[in-house]
A and B are shown apart, each in its own frame.
Chain A
Amino acid sequence: MRDLFRGELVRLTLEEPETRARAEVQWQRDTEFHRLADGDPALLNSERKIKEWFEKQAEEGFKPDRYSFSVRTLEEDRYIGFLGLWVDLIHSEAWVGIGIGEREFWSRGYGTDMMKLCQQYVFAELCMERLSLGLHEYNARALRSYEKCGFRLEGRTRQEVMREGRRTDVLWMGILREEWLQMQNGDGK
């Protein structure tokens, strides 16, 4: 059987709250990263506050509708990003959010590899029927990566976000279980 947590470039793991907070506080200082990942205003939080937040998450224990991962490279074992899943258990739909905080790993296939692991986890392990995500229109790199993973553009909320004095659309993408399964067969896996 395939290792669910190991891709071609990265592996999924979960770091301790201290490690997560130390990385997060660095990533937050990169406002471009923040603008690609999130629609909220760029804000800075102390390492202590972020750590408390992760600790609270850890104390809540296992929840079947929420999954959190940290991402490390296979080569050199660098901690580069995160992956989170929010699951609608009733309708078997998962929402994913991913981010690579370490800039030197942008545009090199790491995000695509993360997303492929995510799809495998969502469809082969959680048995979901669809996987959804949203992104800002100005995030062309992410759009290309998601298309490569088989996501289809399903809609857009026009002019939803105000950034740098301009309004921009939010794009919504999704992939169905059957579509993912078909891609796996196509790859000869």
Chain B
Amino acid sequence: MTARFKQKAVVLSIVLLALLLPFIIQNDYFFHIMTLSFIWMIGVYGLNLIAGYTGYLSLAHAGFFAIGAYSLGILTVKFEIHYWLAFFLACAITCIIGLVIGLVALQTKEHFFAIYTLCVGYIIYLVIDKWESLTGGVRGLIGIPVPPDLGPISFRSPVSQYYFNLFFLLAAIFMMYRIVHSLTGRTLIAIRNSEELAQTIGISTMKNKLVSFVLSTFFAALSGILYASFIRFIGPDISYITMTFDFLIFLLVGGIGTLSGPIVGTLLIVWISQQLQFLQDYRMLIFGPLLTLLIIFYPKGIVGGIFSWKMKMQEKKKRLSMSAKSATQRAEEG
């Protein structure tokens, strides 16, 4: 009970800190980076659901991110549809494409799934890059609108953008929390641990995997849509495989299959990248080996590492108190 209370207090204080941050720090550049991190985090949560909780490494994640971003961009710029309608439509389009691809992709397993989604991601990239009349090709789409004013609130200043994206991030985290702690979440973890076993106890694995996959594309779409209306320019490179690898690094550093992993990993890597700006294209010289070492020594990332360290400590304490107890018992008996 106390542990649960403590956890709640920690979560609440972090949310409060995020809400109050604009009053403590007043720096537009800082808000730009933070807002971008929030947007990435939503996408990373999507990848976490399919790769971390369900055990299917989807390498088409950047593709869905881009489909979301481009759907919003094309609908608002070319067809001049109202922003919120386009927002909703973009989510729906991505989910439908995700559903169709998922129906086929999830027939495959393990390596085949990874390779299949890798190829799907590449097809999405090629289509965006070559279909110039629709997507603008390599030149990209310019002038994507920011969200329209909601009554007195305008979303033009960096601080309001910060709150706008923070709102969606919190909603996404809450949704993830509910999913993971629901029966569906448990089912997904069962599938990850052993698909055959899950099947033998009567779980419809295909249905659940599909739910997980479509939800993950939904998160990717949401992240892409927010990205498009935050940066206001999108090019085909956002669908490229390197983008998926970025998501993967954020997820793995933080902790794959954990709820707080995406937050920790994204914040950490984004800020380290900012510090290492002089490296620019060479940052992978550090992050590449980091990814490999992490997966060998800490496959559950920072959050997972902390968890297992805590568990060890608890066990040690238990053992100590046990031995102390038995010592006193022996002393009493003796």
Q: Report if A and B associate in a common complex.
A: no
